[in-house]
Structure formats: C-alpha cells, structure tokens
Amino acid sequence: MNQNLSVLAVFSLLSVLAVGGGAAVLPETKELVVNQYHWLNDDQFRDIYGLGQVVPGPNMLMVMVIGYHVTGFLGALLAYLGFFVPAGILSWGASRVWDHFEGSPWRVSLQKGMAPLVIGLMAAGAIAIARTAIEGELTVAIAVGTFIGVSFIRRVNPAFFVLGGGLIGLILLSGTGAGMP
C-alpha cells in the first residue's frame, strides 16, 4: 500500500482507539509504528516521544514527527489530520446530541466503568515508554526523581522536570553512548 495512505490509515485507527487520551494509546502506537510497519526503531520511538513532551499543547503532536519520518512533510500533515480529525468529529457529534441523554443513568455507568479502564491504559502507556527509555541506573533515577517531583511539588510545572531530565541526560550520559543507534 502507498506509504502516505498507510500513515493516514494507521493514525486514523489510533485516533478512534484513543479512549482516555494520548497515554492510553501509546502501547498500540508503538506496536504499529515499530513492530508492524517498521517505520521507527525502539530508540527513535523513545526519542520522538521525548520531543513531544517538551512542546506545548496536545501531547500527541509527536505523531507528526513519525509521519515526517515515513514520507516527509506530507506524512507529517497526514499523521496530524489522521490522529486528530476522526476523534474530533466523534466528539463534535456527541456534543450536539449529549444533552439529550441528560440525566440518563447510563451516563454515570459509562463514566464509572471507563475510568478504571483508562487508568489501566495510561499505566500500560508508562510501561511502554519505560521499556524503551529505561536502560541503566541513571535513567531509573531520573524517572523516580521526576515521579516524586511531579507528585509532590505541585507548584512547579511538570515540563520543567522533563526538561531537567534532558539536561541531566545531556551532562551525565553524553560520554556513555547512551541511546546511540
């Protein structure tokens, strides 16, 4: 199949599967992009995920960089449209009919049932990134440090911890060949 069509198809599928947001769909993204289509290897996936974490706005804009790696700027545009538009249309449609279900007890059931599923999917997302990013004691230390920082120092924007992790990596890991292909 044409590579551009594949990019559009993969990210459209991920879009409608992204129940619970970006982190929830990470394992499936990695499975499709790395293992099935071989567009990226493990290290590239981790790196591009990292790029997505240091830019503002919706945290899955990194899909554009994945598309760019497949077919250049057109791939980036198709990944962007594929990932955001199908889910966006669903939300748009739902928001126009949602009020008709005001007071339906099934709305509560849906929220209560989906909440733990989403938490499970987010945890699986953290595991998927850990499998590519955690290699050696220092990376464990950075992950644990960020976990503690984000959990207990609420006044600091979490992005600073992520940038701090990058700075520590730059200073302490650059002589070790860490992350080299």
Interacting positions 157-176 with other proteins (CB under 8 A):
157-170, 172-176
By CB under 8 A, how many residues form the interface with other proteins?
119
Please report how close the Cβ of residue 23 comes to other proteins at its closest, in angstroms. Answer: 6
Please report how close the Cβ of residue 4 comes to other proteins at its closest, in angstroms. Answer: 17
Q: Which of 7, 33, 47, 71 binds other proteins (CB under 8 A)?
A: 47
Q: Which of residues 67-126 bind other proteins (CB under 8 A)?
A: 68-69, 76, 80, 84, 86-88, 90-99, 105-126
Give the residue from 129, 122, 165 showing the smallest Cα distance to 34.
129
Please report how close the Cβ of residue 104 comes to other proteins at its closest, in angstroms. Answer: 8
Both tokens of 145, joined, read 């440090």
Angle between helices 158-173 and 137-152 (to 10 degrees): 160
- The number of residues making up the chain comes to 181
14 vs 10: CA distance, rounded Å: 6
Q: Which residue type does 71 have?
A: T
Both tokens of 129, joined, read 């990134």
Q: Which of residues 4-33 bind other proteins (CB under 8 A)?
A: 15-23, 25, 27-28, 31
